[in-house]
Chains A and B, each alone.
Chain A
Amino acid sequence: MTRVPGIAALVILAMAYTGVGAEEVDTRREDQLKAAYLFNFIKFVEWPTGAPERTLTVCFAGGEGVHNAFSTGIENKKAGQRALAVRRLQPRENPGGCNVVYLDAQLVSTDAYSLPADASAPMLTVSDASQFARHGGMIELFTDSNRLRFNVNVDTVQKAGLRISSSLLQLAAAVEKGGGK
């Protein structure tokens, strides 16, 4: 059963990356909100020593609307001391070099996604996919009563050597533990 969404995700992924589904994206309000959440998450996370001091690279796998809203929104903005650079991931591209990865829900199904390959890489993963935090992702955005909420998986965050501020955890709808594949 769970294979089906996996296959569907692959098909959608292939479509999106060959440009079939890549119509012009008008930034929807929901995407703008997701971009604003993403920007806030980055401000609440500490990267371990060794992470770039000056610029954090924020990568997007799919999620054009969120990408567009984020790119226009962060002009002249910093997350704490760091500037932000935005990159779009190509299909099957290794996300190495990314400090933050935003995965679009359409690319993630509950059992089929592969970012990051190395769980101990200090890479913050955020997605609007259902059950993302429970299945090894770090921060999961979801819709509730017409508002965006998020869940955090503290174990995967810790494993990656990242530190999340307690004020962020207090605002999370649920704090997950464990998970992974």
Chain B
Amino acid sequence: MKSSRPLSLIVWALLTSAAILAEPARAASRDLLDLSLEELMNEPITSVSKRATRLGDAAAAVSVISAEDIRRSGFTSIPEALRMVPGLNVARVSSNEWAISARGFNNEYASKLLVLVDGRAVYTPTYAGVYWENQDLVLEDVARIEIIRGPGATLWGANAVNGVINIITKSAAETQGWLSSNAYGTEEQPSSSLRYGGTSGEHLHYRVYARYFDRDRFEDSNGQPTEDAWRSMRGGFRLDWQPPGDDELTVQGDLYSSDVGQNWTSPAISAPVNLDLTLMRDNHGGNLLSRWTHRYSDTSSSSLQIYYDHLQEIYAGCIEKRDTVDLDWQHRFELTARQDVTWGLGYRRSSDDFPLTSAIVFTPQARTMSLYSVFVQDEMSFAQDRLQLTMGSKFEHNDFTGFEVQPNLRALWKLDADQAVWASVARSVRTPSRVDHDVRAAMLWTSGNPPALLTIQSNPDIRSEVALTYELGYRSQLNPTLSADVATFYSTYDHVRDVVAGNPYFETSPQTAYLTIPMIPVTEASAETYGAELSLQWTPTESWRLNTGYTLLRMQTHPVLTLATPGRNARHQIQLRSYYNVSRDFELNGAVYYVDHLESLAVPSYVRLDLGVVWRPVRELELGLSGQNLLDARHLEFATLRSATRTEIPRAVLGRITWSF
């Protein structure tokens, strides 16, 4: 019986597509004229890429942070800007570290959120997470940040379990001329960007940029400095070539170098003592990406993307060097008048080396991992486009767990022109990282006689974490000034990764005998999460806009886990953002965020208030003054297990001059 199901699905699909063919062609031009300018700007000319769905028509929990949101927020970094997304849990760990996740499992090494910058994955296979401190850009050149909460694995592949963040920069054509942006304040000392965009001929646009910032250290609850100051320098370019015709070529690249101050509590090798280290992590890296898109017709296009990425990271106890090459091909075409098919092939090769190791040892020291992937997705529309069905799957092969299948079925039903309901069910996986599979890391000495050394010992039999997610959402333009978006979800997770203590055994080091307690990554637990994300946008007058958001998250694990604890995630979050234009040249912006307490880290709940004014005396010049965290001198948002130091997030004042001409 079970095997007849796919067959009946195919028969059903064939029958419906025949029915689709018989329907009249869509009256698309009339529909487009009903869209607002903002909506039009999100409208792809052709659906070239994986992300070219209209926001209002997406059968997924999608949010977008626009360039205007970033400008008005006064935020100076990408991770901070993500606070504006309802459904994301953004907790700043120190001046240069963040714990960011959607829908649970938050951690400074949160592993279930995939992040891409202009199509380049910045999720690291080393520990399964994102080096947020390396993800910096000229914020004025960011076009938008698209956030998909919930699984995106069918298109984006493994590790897009709880969400995908796409950071998309403006094209070179949109960033012509000079831009100089300088901010100085209690934390930014300074933060400066310089960019020039030009053209060569009529069809080639380019920009080059340089950026530097120096961020002050934060303090702990006693006002003691926490030595987490950081400095970063970066530069890069982007070329966009759009010759007349159907081809487009983008080439872009960046180079960066950072000194990142972090606190680590690390065990000494020679004696049973723990050292509180202040490490200046000297990290650097660079990337080069090229993307070619070709349009065969209005309904058919393809893109080929290739990138190379290099990075070097220093930790307490080891150095990482990593080189990644990634190839991605996508093709989209109209199968019938009512069916769009997108399919693609991908190959990624990531080679690492951990040449200098002491407390952390990788075996093998160097490893090259290959990832092969194929995906196919079919979008079908029925009943005059009122019902849309999307089904697809990604098929991947990785070196640790072999084949992974990540299917997804989504449906969107437009109740009328202003309302839609959507639902989705998806399976996604989080594949093991190098740390899960290959590491032996001395973590901490425990007191006692004999002394015991807690040591993470990898588990080569570790499995992928598997999530099944059910979502139901509703979107409505209630009236011309008010729109609402609700997403609810229920997810179950199997083979959840945790760490358990194995049988202790004696080791004898040159000096003394000690006990090793192995901490072994296992994937035996299960978990479930459910919750809701609500956002409302209200434009009471032409010059005033309000955004509110509420996030509810509940999480349970079986059994109770050491690392993936529900108590590291805020149960309730509320935000309210206000944009007010006093006049054409003068803006008042404000935001309030409430984040619930984190039980297992003893982090109390907090309310954050940000206020800002922006004045444009002439069009080329923008002056901004913003205050962040105005309600308290400093507060705790998260606590890392890596160090006993608990860094608090201070009140900050910032002045900014942006000059473009």
Q: Which residues of A contact B (CB under 8 A)?
A: 27-30, 32-33, 35-37, 39-40, 44, 69, 72-75, 77, 110, 130-131, 142-149, 154, 165-171, 173-175, 177
Q: Please tell me if B242 contacts chain A, counting CB pairs below 8 Å.
A: yes
Q: Which residues of B contact A77 (CB under 8 A)?
A: 33
Task: Specify the chain A residue showing the minimal Cβ separation from B36.
Answer: A40
Known: A28-B298, A130-B202, A145-B171. 7 other contacts (CB 8 A): A32-B29, A72-B29, A72-B30, A147-B43, A147-B45, A165-B542, A166-B584
Q: How far is the CB of B661 from chain A (nearest CB, A)?
A: 10
For the complex, what is the distance from the CA of A74 to the CA of B32, rounded to whole Å? Answer: 11
A-B contact pairs, 20 of them (CB 8 A): A29-B298, A30-B298, A33-B32, A33-B40, A35-B33, A36-B40, A40-B40, A72-B29, A72-B30, A75-B30, A146-B48, A146-B49, A146-B293, A147-B41, A166-B584, A169-B584, A173-B173, A173-B174, A174-B176, A177-B619
Beta-carbon contacts under 8 Å, B32-72 to A: 32-33, 35-38, 40-46, 48-49, 52, 68
Q: How far is the CA of A30 from the CA of B660 in the complex (A)?
A: 31
Known: A146-B44, A148-B41. A73 touches B171 (CB 8 A): no
Query: Contacts A27-B29, A74-B33, A143-B45; is A170 near B68 (CB within 8 Å)?
Result: yes
In the complex, B10 has a CB within 8 A of chain A: no
Identify B38's interface contact among A36, A143, A171, A175, CB under 8 A: A171
Tell me which residues from 162 to 204 in chain B have a Cβ below 8 Å from any Cβ of chain A: 168, 170-171, 173-174, 176, 202
Does B592 have its Cβ within 8 Å of any Cβ on chain A?
Answer: no
Assess whether B290 is interfacial by the CB under 8 Å rule: no
Among the listed B45, B48, B49, B174, which residue makes an inter-chain contact with A174, where contact means beta carbons less than 8 Å apart? B174
- In the complex, are the beta carbons of B174 and A149 less than 8 A apart? yes
Q: How far does the Cβ of A66 sit from chain B's closest Cβ, in whole Å?
A: 10
B398 at the interface (CB under 8 A from A): no
Contacts of A142 in B (CB 8 A): 173
Provide the residues of chain B in CB contact with A32, threshold 8 Å: 28-29, 32
Cβ–Cβ contact B29 & A35, under 8 A: yes
On whether the beta carbons of A40 and B46 are closer than 8 Å, the reply is no
Q: For A167, what are the chain B residues with a Cβ–Cβ distance below 8 Å?
A: 37, 542
Name the distance in Å between B97's Cβ and chain A's nearest Cβ: 31
**A171 and B28 within 8 A (CB):** no
Given the known A-B contacts A29-B298, A148-B45, are A37 and B37 also in contact in the complex, defined by CB atoms under 8 Å? yes
Kindly state the interface size class of chain B when it binds its partner: 35 or more
Docked pose: A24 CA to B488 CA in angstroms: 48
**Across the two chains, which residue of chain A brings its CB closest to B177?**
A174
A168 to B293, CA, bound (A): 30
Question: Contacts A170-B68, A174-B176 hold; do A147 and B28 have CB atoms under 8 A apart?
Answer: no
The CA of A154 and the CA of B28, in the complex, are separated in Å by: 32
Q: Which B residues, 129 to 169, have Cβ-Cβ distances below 8 Å to chain A?
A: 143, 168
Q: How far is the CA of A77 from the CA of B30 in the complex (A)?
A: 10
Cβ contact within 8 Å between A149 and B176: no
Residue of B nearest to A36 (CB): B32
**Which 10 pairs across A and B sit closest by C-beta, in order of nearness?**
A36-B32, A73-B33, A32-B29, A69-B29, A144-B171, A40-B37, A73-B29, A173-B174, A166-B584, A36-B33
Residue of B at shortest CB range from A29? B298
A131-B202 Cα distance, complex, nearest whole Å: 9
Neighbouring B residues of A39 by C-beta, 8 Å: 33
Q: For the complex, give the distance between the alpha carbons of A170 and B619 in Å.
A: 12
Cα A148 to Cα B581 with chains together (Å):
26
State in angstroms the CA–CA spacing of A45 and B584 once bound together.
16
Distance to closest chain A CB from B206 (angstroms):
14
Give the residues in chain A near B35, CB-CB below 8 Å: 36, 40
- Nearest Cβ distance between residue A101 and chain B, in whole angstroms? 19
Give the residues in chain B near A35, CB-CB below 8 Å. 29, 32-33
In the complex, which residues of chain B have a beta carbon less than 8 angstroms from the beta carbon of A69?
29
Q: By the criterion CB–CB under 8 Å, are B174 and A144 in contact?
A: yes
How distant is the Cα of A171 from the Cα of B40 in the complex, in angstroms?
11
CA of A146 to CA of B41, assembled, Å: 10
Contact B581 A166, beta carbon cutoff 8 Å: yes
- For the complex, what is the distance from the CA of A30 to the CA of B174, rounded to whole Å? 19
Cα separation A142 to B199 with both chains bound (whole Å): 15
State the Cβ distance, B396 to closest chain A Cβ, in Å: 26
Please state if A168 and B173 are interface contacts (CB–CB under 8 Å): no
Measured CA separation A75–B619 after assembly (Å):
38
B619 proximity list for chain A (CB < 8 A): 154, 175, 177
**Given A36-B32, A74-B33, A144-B174, are A29 and B45 also a contact pair (CB < 8 Å)?**
yes
- Taken residue by residue from 599 to 629, chain B's Cβ proximity to chain A (1 for < 8 Å, 0 otherwise) reads as 0000000000000000000010000000000
By a CB distance below 8 angstroms, the chain B residues around A110 are: 202
* A149 with B45, Cβ < 8 A, contacts A35-B29, A36-B35 known: no
> Closest chain A residue to B68 by CB distance?
A170
- Of B32, B37, B52, B68, which contacts A73 at CB under 8 A? B32
Q: Which residue of A lies closest to B35 (CB)?
A: A36
CA distance A73 to B42 in the complex (A): 19
* Assembled-state Cα–Cα distance A88/B29 (Å): 19
A149 touches B41 (CB 8 A): yes
The distance in angstroms between the C-alpha atoms of A165 and B176, with both chains bound, is: 23
CA of A36 to CA of B35, assembled, Å: 8
Min CB distance A167 to B, Å, is 6
- Residues of B contacting A165 with CB < 8 Å? 542
Is B40's CB under 8 angstroms from A146's CB?
no
Chain A positions within 8 Å of B581 at CB level: 166
Residues on the A chain within 8 Å of B584, using CB: 166, 169
Residue of B nearest to A31 (CB): B29
Among B32, B42, B68, B202, contact of A147 (Cβ-Cβ < 8 Å) = B42
Give the distance in Å from the alpha carbon of A39 to the alpha carbon of B40 in the complex: 11
Contacts of A28 in B (CB 8 A): 298
B295 to chain A, nearest CB (A): 9
Q: Looking at the assembled complex, report how far the CB atom of A40 sits from the nearest CB atom of chain B, in whole angstroms.
A: 5
Closest-CB distance, A171 to chain B (whole angstroms): 6
Given A33-B40, A33-B45, A40-B37: A146 and B174 interface contact (C-beta under 8 Å): no
